[in-house]
Structure formats: C-alpha cells, structure tokens
Structure 1
C-alpha cells in the first residue's frame, strides 16, 4: 500500500480499476440525464417528407414569372390539404393546392405562397408578383438525413435530444444503468438529523451532502447509515454495502487517531489496500481499497474535506462508471480578487467562486477554509489549486482553479 501520494497518482490509479456499468433501455420520458450506451442513428429523414412551413398555396413557381400588380396571374385551386393528410392530386401548370402549415408539399409543386400574398376568388387565386422556387418549402431530410448519427454513445440525454429521438421514432433509449453508490458514515458521535441532539453528539451531514451530490450526478445513492467506531461493525457494514452497490464511500475513521479504525476494518474484511493519505490539504486522510473488483473509498469525517476529496478524487471515477467520455473537471486561470494571508507548505485547495467578466476569469474566496467548515461550500463553484511551498496569495495574482460541477454532462 502506498502512502501520501499525489492527487494525480491517486486519480490515475483508481481510474484503471473501474469501468462503465452495464447497459439497458429506458422509456423516452425517463431518459433525461442518463448517458447513452451507444451511438444513435436515425432510421428516417427528418422531416420525413417535404412540408409547408405556413398556410398558403402550393404551386409551380414558373407559373408566376409573368405576374405583375397590373397584370396578375390566375391559378385554379384544385384541392385543400391539412396537416396529417396526403394530397390526392398533383400540381400541374395553371393549378394550385391550398395547404396548411405542416401539410406535405404536393407532387409537382416547388413553392408555397402565403395566403396574404394572393387574392382568392371562388376556386381561383391571383398572384401579383413572381415567386422563388423552394423559398417556402421545408425539404425532407433538412434537419436529419436517414442513417445520420444524431447522438454519440457517452453523451448525456438532454430535453432537446429527447425531442429529436421522439421525432425519429425512438421510444426506448439505450443507456448505461444508474451507478449505485453506497454511502456510510462512521463515528460514535454521529446522529441522524431526524433525532433529537444529545450532549456530545453532532448531526451527520456527510452522508446527506454526498448523497445529494450523487443524485445530482444522476447516480443512485444507497444510504448505509451510521456505524460506531468498532472494527468488526464497520467491516460488516462495508460488506453489506458492497453487495448493494457498485462503489462504496465511507466518511470518518481514516486518520491516525485511536478510533480511526476504517483501515483495520478493511483489512479484516480482506480488502486489498491501494493507498492511504493524499499529499494535499484539506482531505489528506483518504484510504482506497478494492474487494471483488469493487472500490471502497474512505474519506475524511470533516465535512469540507470530505466534499473536496469527493469532487477531486471520486467524481471522475463515478463519471467513468456512468459511461461519460469526459471525467475530469475544467481547469482555468483566474485573477484573485482578495488576499489569502496564509502560506501553504502543502498543496492546498481553497474554496472559491469563479466568475467571468469581459473575457477574463476572476475568483474570490467563499469564506472560511478550515476542514470542518461547511458553509463556504455553498457558493463554491471552484477550488483554487495552491502549489506546495507557496507564500500568501495577493489580490490581482493569477491563480489556477479547478471548476467544479456535479451535473452528468459537464461542469458548471
């Protein structure tokens, strides 16, 4: 087992140990937010047929060549076609067919003239100027050509894509199954928020915040509750979590105290320990293990440390398991808008918010930066990556930031 490794080494090591989950099919209305399991090709042209974009008259443009305000051209209206119906007749020289918006363009016609651009007298219309062929015609295949790939595998299904899939007749969508993520918290001091607070106890926020992040990612969190600081109890609960999920996340019990017994529980379980501790702050206490080809990631019990390590280390794993092509967050350069007065002997990640103004990124801290502070995570959309050995940061200084985001298709 390696100890105190870099974030990048930890990411690379764990990514080699996970793969996308199995695939299945879901109804179209249940597909939003899911990840496509394969490329989708259209089996039809879209539109399927050439159609009218307006209410008007279908005709042959050449019939209008001699039309003038003082000498209109008269055409005979031979039929009326509404949307959803097919013309019975063919447009020939000297004739026109009345069509409504969305109706098929009749055979022989090459243009649709608006109702308001002609005058109707009985079964005849008068044209007062020449028209351009094809100007008011929506051609078959104008949007999608039959056989065209409209969405690649690994793409997140969005509402517009749902609409396009419906338009080409796809009722069931091939997607990756939802990743099941078991979350459990260790600690004698923890209580569920549903209970009355007791002396010496604290409410368990980690299970709920991590579960919420997993939901936002489009995965299925599995609540494994709170386990006391007992090696055998933790090993038993992790065993149950492994059976119920594709990935197990624990919080607490991974540092060097007398009651940090998660490493011992993993050993008792028979898991292979991969690494312990990351060379970064906050979130250094992390342990990673593998059991029967499933990963167990033990995060710090400190709320902010747990969330930051989840963002940097666990989210890329989850995205790969979901079938997403892009797993890592966007990195940007930004101008710091305020001082950070502490030196950083160890690599440090600061909670911050990046905003763009006039083609320039600016970043400001979102509050207190200690490991246990949760409030500064609320407005946080980025982490400033401060290299080890850095002195205080000054307003106006250019810094590197990792842009966070828990939506399946990308980064906020």
Structure 2
C-alpha cells in the first residue's frame, strides 16, 4: 500500500504559480511567504470613541471633581491630517482615528459629559491607555503568512490589511473525473431493471473540489474501448489528472482496464480493504491517471488514502493530509489478515472514543455518508478488542 501511495504522489508535479486578485484566492495555497511592507496598525490610533488627552492634564479627575478641557479638534477615522494636541486641551476622537502628537492617552466618552466645545472629564487616564500602537500587531518585514498556507477568509483579510492586492498562489490541479458504465443513468430519470443511478462521478468530482482542485465530470461513457478513448481526447490538453472509478477488476467488460492497459497505466492489487484493485500511470505520456474501484465506498476510501493527499501536495498546501487522532475503540473489531482495513466510524472529540459505524462492505454507502472519520485497522491485526488505541482520520 505505501508503494502505491508513493507512486500516485509522484505522478502529480507541483502546480504552476499564478498571481491572482485576493478575491480569487479563496481555498488556494500561498506559493511564497507574504511579508508585511507596512506595520499593523500603520499608525498610533484610538481604541475607543472618546477624547485624546495628555494624561498629566487629567490627573485626579473624578465625577465629583471633573477636569474641564476645551475641545480643539474633531478627529474622525480617516482624517488624513492630525493636528497636534496642545497642553491643556483635548481632541474629540473616534475609534481608529490617528492619535495626535502630544496626546498619550484616550479617555472613553463614557467617562466624560460628551461635550463638543469643552469636555468635562470624570476620570484620570494612565499613559498609553486605549492607544493602539503602530506595529503592535505586525512589524514591517514580518512574514504574516507562510508559503503553503491555505487561504481562508482571515488569511485573505490579513493580506488585504498589509496592502497586498494580489497573491502568488498554486493553480488548482485540473482533474477530469470519468464515469463509465452502460448501466449508469442520471439521477432523477426513470430507472429500468439492471440500471443504477450514477453516483461515483458526482461524489469524486465534489471530493476533488472540496480538496481544492478543479474538477470536470465526464459522465456516461459507454463500456466500449473506442468510445472511452474518444471521450478523453478533447480534454487531454487541459487536464493534469484523470480519475476513473470501476472497470478495473478481473472480470469481462472492464473497459477502463482494457482501454488503459498498454497506454501508460499499470494495474495492481493493494493490500487494503476496501479498495484492493488500483491503477496508476500516465495516459500516453500525458496526464496522470488514477483508476479507483467501482464500489462507492471503495472509490471514496481510495480517493482519501491515495488521491487527496497527492492532489493537495501538488497544489502547494502545507497541510496535505487529513488530521489524525488517537482514539479509544468502544467495541471489538476483526481485521482481514494481511490487509489494512479502513472502517467507517464515529469519533467523539469530547471523550476521544471511536465507534465503528456500519459494516465493512464496500457497497454500503449510507454509513460512509454519516460517518465522521475512517478508523484504521493495521495489516497485522486479526482482532482489536474494545479499549484498544487506534488511529482515525477525521473526515468532518
């Protein structure tokens, strides 16, 4: 299994770097450290609506003995000039406005009478109180985001705050998800005997998108070698990775295996349950190809184990793997000798306990849809008693 995982990872080379506007970077990976060219805050500013004062001018102020100061200026946020504060005066100031030179404290409006021509100050103020100092959050030259960071709302917020209009990011991996099988029909259409609704293609395409890739779903390719190659041909120049599901076992009518054998893709059996039949390679020297089993749970588990980490690593994400945990097993489990088993399970973060969810069958998709983790049963394990410490991969 590790050998096949390494082979899939080696197929996907790092995606090219692009410069994109911030609004187009959500979910992508930063390609280079983002270094602040300005401090945050960029200037001393007020943390409160109130009055900028010299602390010595309001020493001893109280409700019983207020200090009265003339208000010389109004300083709203955004005012670009900042008249200096003269001794014995106050400037009315709003949150975020630049603190004028000469002032060393802010008295909140709640501790005054709110006057506009003059203000009665009801409390003293220590030097520096309610003043946000320039650079106290970020200093010039600080790397505010490291290469490999997945860009979410807060990461894009800090990028904007330090003045970045565009960011260098890794382009999403372009994935073509191929859905083959003459028995497949579109959900919502009438279902005849011997037909099933197509679900693997949609499931895998959305899994690619959730992992940060760009997916195109090509559905309902017939079980015919010529049709298979014809379906691929228009997409090859714009595809980094082709993912197929089904058609890779040892039976007849295995169109994926018949089409890709001899065209750069090798097929193998991996010591894993579910997901034993696998394939990987390059289609005629071009795009990477990963072939997954057809049973839906096998396809999804195989994607999680082999494809998702490789896809995220190629797209530059520092965190390529699903987060893992050690958990206590609540009930006993049996494992197939010589195979690593991945069981659907429910992990409780409050207790660090994990409970198997549904049976091991690779066709039982409903449990996969309601599980929040995959529980690993090692190859050498025949039975895990309740209370055992096990590894889980968090899916949700």
TM over 0.5: yes
2:367 aligned with 1:376, yes or no? yes
Decide whether the 8 Å contact of 2:33 with 2:145 is kept in 1: yes
Residue equivalent to 2:295: 302
1:386 is matched with which residue?
A: 377
User: Residue deviations 1:169-225, cap 9 Å, x none?
Assistant: 323232222221101122232222253212211121110111121122222211122
Partner in structure 1 of residue 170 of structure 2 = 176
**Aligned residues, how many?**
395
Q: CA offsets, 1:88-107, max 9 Å, x none?
A: 53212212212122221111
Cα gap change, 1:339/1:83 in structure 2, threshold over 3 Å: closer, same or farther? same
Q: What's the CA shift string for 1:371-401, capped at 9, x where partnerless? A: 1111111112222222235334433333222
Do 1:80 and 1:97's aligned partners in 2 also have CA atoms closer than 8 Å? yes
Give 2:392's aligned residue. Answer: 401
Structure 1 residues 394 and 68, CA, compared in 2 at 3 Å: closer, same or farther?
Answer: closer
Residue 128 (structure 1) shift: 4.9
Structural mapping, 1:219-230, within 5 Å? 219-230=213-224
On the 8 A contact 2:373/2:393 being kept in 1, the answer is yes
SS in structure 1 opposite 2:393? strand
Query: Aligned equivalents of 1:340 and 1:316: distance in 2?
Result: 27
Q: 1:279 to 1:102 in 2, by over 3 A?
A: same
Q: Give the TM-score taking structure 1 as reference length.
A: 0.88
Instruction: Verify: 1:312 aligned to 2:305, yes or no.
Output: yes
Instruction: Determine if contact 1:53/1:136 at 8 Å carries over to the other structure.
Output: yes
When structure 1 is superposed on structure 2, of 196-205 and 71-80 the one drifting more is 71-80
Q: Which runs of 5+ in 1 are unaligned?
A: 1-6, 405-411
Q: 1:239 to 1:284 in 2, by over 3 A?
A: farther
Q: Pick closer, same or farther for the CA change 1:241–1:395 going to 2, 3 Å.
A: farther
| Uncovered stretches (5+) of structure 2, i.e. residues with no partner | none
Which of 300, 318, 327 is residue 334 of structure 1 equivalent to? 327
On the 8 A contact 1:87/1:106 being kept in 2, the answer is no
Any idea what SS the aligned residue of 1:102 has? coil
1:256 deviates by 0.6
TM-score (norm 2): 0.91
Q: 2:315 is matched with which residue?
A: 322
Equivalent in 150, 157, 176 of residue 163 of structure 1: 157
Give the 5 Å matches for 1:76-91: 76-87=70-81, 89-91=83-85
Q: Does 1:245 align with 2:236?
A: no
Whether the 8 Å contact between 2:271 and 2:338 is mirrored in structure 1 is no
Compared with structure 1, are the counterparts of its residues 389 and 95 closer, same or farther at alpha carbon in structure 2 (3 Å cutoff)?
closer
Cα distance in structure 2, aligned partners of 1:237 and 1:152: 41
Distance 2:123 2:192 in 1: 86
Root mean square deviation, CA, Å: 2.4
1:202-241 paired onto structure 2 within 5 Å: 202-241=196-235
Gap change, CA 1:247 and 1:146, over 3 Å in 2: same
